[in-house]
Amino acid sequence: GAVVSQHPSWVICKSGTSVKIECRSLDFQATTMFWYRQFPKQSLMLMATSNEGSKATYEQGVEKDKFLINHASLTLSTLTVTSAHPEDSSFYICSARASVYNEQFFGPGTRLTVL
Amino acid sequence: QKEVEQNSGPLSVPEGAIASLNCTYSDRVSQSFFWYRQYSGKSPELIMSIYSNGDKEDGRFTAQLNKASQYVSLLIRDSQPSDSATYLCAAYTGGFKTIFGAGTRLFVKA
């Protein structure tokens, strides 16, 4: 149990375009979802926390107008990177937590390359 | 600032040995503790959860928690080259956020 999927697993886009990443909890209802970014050989960096039906809470230094997060249902959250630039190239990972667990379960990640 | 501290490593152990990974946390109200394994280029995978003082065993893995010392550890018995990864310690203090350590890199030499 506790499976989280992400789509796409990798994406290449041109500078200036927007990219949407989906995160789904497949076998549980996720009251809270998290979005992380990880650069090569670096630690996980929490970008934002979202609760179903509420606005996301962004970490300091993360531009909310650039990284749009929608958590419209208990099984789906989306991250849209708007007007992507090469410096946004990274490994984006979502995770989800159900109200009955304290554990976070991670999706497989999305590797974004902006040309 | 609530923190979870880990030695970044790398920790190198020979195949078959016991690997010992350590973690300290600063927030005394932390309730739950987790160990995740992250292979290079992959996302973290939950391997152990521990909530009470003492030891919890699952196969070759044993998690140890000492709340008085604010210390949690992970022992990997009979280490295998496939255990080579970064191990992340995490603490949940209630609310919405879990605090992750930066991770310890483990190398198991064949």
DSSP chain B: ---EEE----EEEETTSPEEEEEEES-TT--EEEEEEE-TTS--EEEEEE-SSEEEEETTEEEEEETTTTEEEEEESS--GGG-EEEEEEEE-STT-EEEP--EEEEEE-
**Identity of the amino acid at A74:** L
**B46–A103: do the CB atoms touch at under 8 Å?**
yes
CA–CA gap between residue A35 and residue A104 (Å, rounded) = 11
Q: In Å, what is the CA distance from A15 to each residue of A19, A24, A68, A89?
A: 10, 27, 17, 10
Answer for the pair A96, A105: CB distance below 8 angstroms, yes or no. yes
Which of A104, A105, A112, A113 is the mutation pick for testing B, counting most B CBs within 10 A? A104
Residue type, B74: L
Instruction: Determine the residue type at A20.
Output: K
Q: Are A49 and A93 in contact (CB under 8 A)?
A: no
Q: What is the pLDDT of residues A60-102, one digit of tens each?
A: 999 999 999 998 888 999 999 999 999 999 999 999 997 766 8
Distance to chain B for A18, nearest Cα, Å: 23
Which chain B residues are closer than 8 Å to A103 by Cβ?
32, 34, 46, 49
pLDDT above 70: residue A1: no
**pLDDT of A98:** 79
Cross-chain residue pair B103–A108, CB shorter than 8 Å:
no
Is A49–B96 a contact, with Cβ atoms under 8 angstroms apart? yes
Percent of chain A with pLDDT over 70: 97
Instruction: Give tens-digit pLDDT for B60-92.
Output: 999 999 999 999 999 999 999 999 999 999 998
Of A41-45, A70-74, B35-39, give the range with the top mean pLDDT: B35-39
Nearest CA in chain B to A31: B96
Q: State how far residue A25 is from chain B, nearest Cα, in angstroms.
A: 15
Distance from CA of B106 to the nearest CA of A (A): 14
Q: How many CB pairs under 8 A join A and B?
A: 44
> A102–B31: do the CB atoms touch at under 8 Å?
yes
CA distance A82 to chain B (A): 23
Answer whether B100 sits within 8 Å of A44, measured CB to CB: yes
Residue of A nearest to B44 (CA): A106
Residue closest to B21 by CA, chosen among B36, B32, B34, B6: B6
A16 φ/ψ angles, rounded to the nearest 5 degrees? 100, -15
